[in-house]
Structure formats: structure tokens, C-alpha cells
Amino acid sequence: MNTIKTVFEKQKQLGYGCLVAYITAGDPTPERTPEIADALIRGGVDILELGLPFSDPIADGPTIQNASLRALKSGTTPKRVLEITGEIKAKHDIPLVIMTYYNPVFKYGTERFLAEAKAVGVDGFIVPDLPVEEAADYLEAAAKAELDTIFLASPATSRERLERIVAASSGFLYLVSRFGVTGAQTDVADATVELIRKVQPFTAGKVALAVGFGISRPEHVRRVVAAGADAAIVGSAFINIVAANQPDMLRELEEAASALKAATKT
């Protein structure tokens, strides 16, 4: 099985960084999400993040907020997200990560939700509003279910807290490249490169380093990988294609993923 750690190791041996793609499960409909996943994986995506739609996505900009709204209107529930994940995993040997705010997990029942997620093939979770200082119970449940826990670090994270986050993370560390919310940007700031170079020594030999927020073009991917990141995380660029919902959407997604993946060559 392609675990998250295995994929990072394999791509490194091949001379590539990893491409992590984020899409919102259920956008535009639950039935279309597996097709969208197929297109991205054909294009070369190494790890797929499925966003669990939530009514109050505080870390997300308008692009992902609107995707969540479309998914909720189409009837997407946490249970349906797990069903979608199972459909994708049945076809593809690729790590699948669910990104969710903690409230839906808590309401579902943390241990129950994680166990059911593991059963359908989920490999890890990102819970952006769960701070490492309050995550002991969650970490215990995730370890029991043999799921990776991917924490986030940001430009504001102190050295001491970064060390704690790295120690608690498995799969990869999600480095938020800038202040603010998610959303495609026109360029990668010099500050992002400096941030990667600052954080990379803390993760080296411990956990892979993936960079997200504002990464949307091949040149962005090339720059963050060259700076020392093990992966680039791309979300809004793919969701914008989904939102346009054109007849050639799947082809556009595959082509976009292919171009972004090619840019991970080291």
C-alpha cells in the first residue's frame, strides 16, 4: 500500500517532490468528486486531500468557502465524504487525506469517525482548528486507528511550538506559506522561500515538509521545491476549474495537474 511516507520516499528517489491536491468533497456534487479525483490522479497528483465541507471554514478564502457551500447544498455529509473516499480508494492506490474542521468530527464521535475513515482507506487527517496543545485525545484516537495526523505551522509559529508540532506530526507537516486564508496568488513571495529555509532544518529526517496557501502555478511549485520543500499543496487553482464547470473540466484538471507535477522535478 502507498502510505504517505512511502510516496514521499519514492518520489524523492525518482528526483521529484510530491504534488498534493486539495478538492472539496461533494463539489459540485458527490457523484462528480470521484471523476474529479480520477482526472487529478491521471495528471500525476501524488496525494489527494479531500475537504469535508463545513459551514464556517475560518481558514479558507472565498474560493474554498464557495466550494463548501456548493457541496453542502448538494447534500454532502461527513458520512457521504467517507463513501466518496472509499470509491476513490477502490480505484487508486494513492494516499488520501481528509481535511476537516474539528466540529464535524467531534459531533460524529471522534473514535467512530476515525475508525470508519480508516476502514474506507483514509491515510491521514488535517484538522486546522485543532491546536497541538489540545490534541492529546485526538492523537490517541488517530494512533489507535493508525492514521497520520498532519499539523499546520505558519509564519507566526515560534521555534518552541514548531518543535512540538513537528514531534506530533506524521505523514507531513503542512506549512502555511503566508498570513491570511487560502486562495490562489500571482507569485510566491521571497518571505515564503525564507520561511521554508527556516523550517526545513526542523523537519529534516523527521517528517516531510509540504507548503500550501497561494500555490497555484508551475513556477510557484518549482520555487518552493527548490527552496527545500518536499511537496507543494495546490487547492484553489483546481477548485477554480471545478467551479467553472465547463464541459472539458476533467481534461483541464488533468492538464493542470500534469503541469504542476512536472514542476516538482528536483
Catalytic residue flag (residue 219): no
Cα-only R_g, the chain: 17
Q: Count the neighbouring beta carbons within 10 Å of the beta carbon of residue 60.
A: 25
8 three-state secondary structure = helix
Cα separation, 134 vs 204, whole angstroms = 25
Cα atoms in the 13 Å half-sphere on the side-chain side of 127: 23
Task: Name the active-site residue from 27, 35, 38, 60.
Answer: 60
49 is catalytic: yes
Grid coordinates representing 220?
Answer: 510557484
Nearest to 20 by CA among 164, 171, 154: 171
27, 49, 116, 254: the active-site residue: 49
By annotation, the residues acting in catalysis are 49, 60
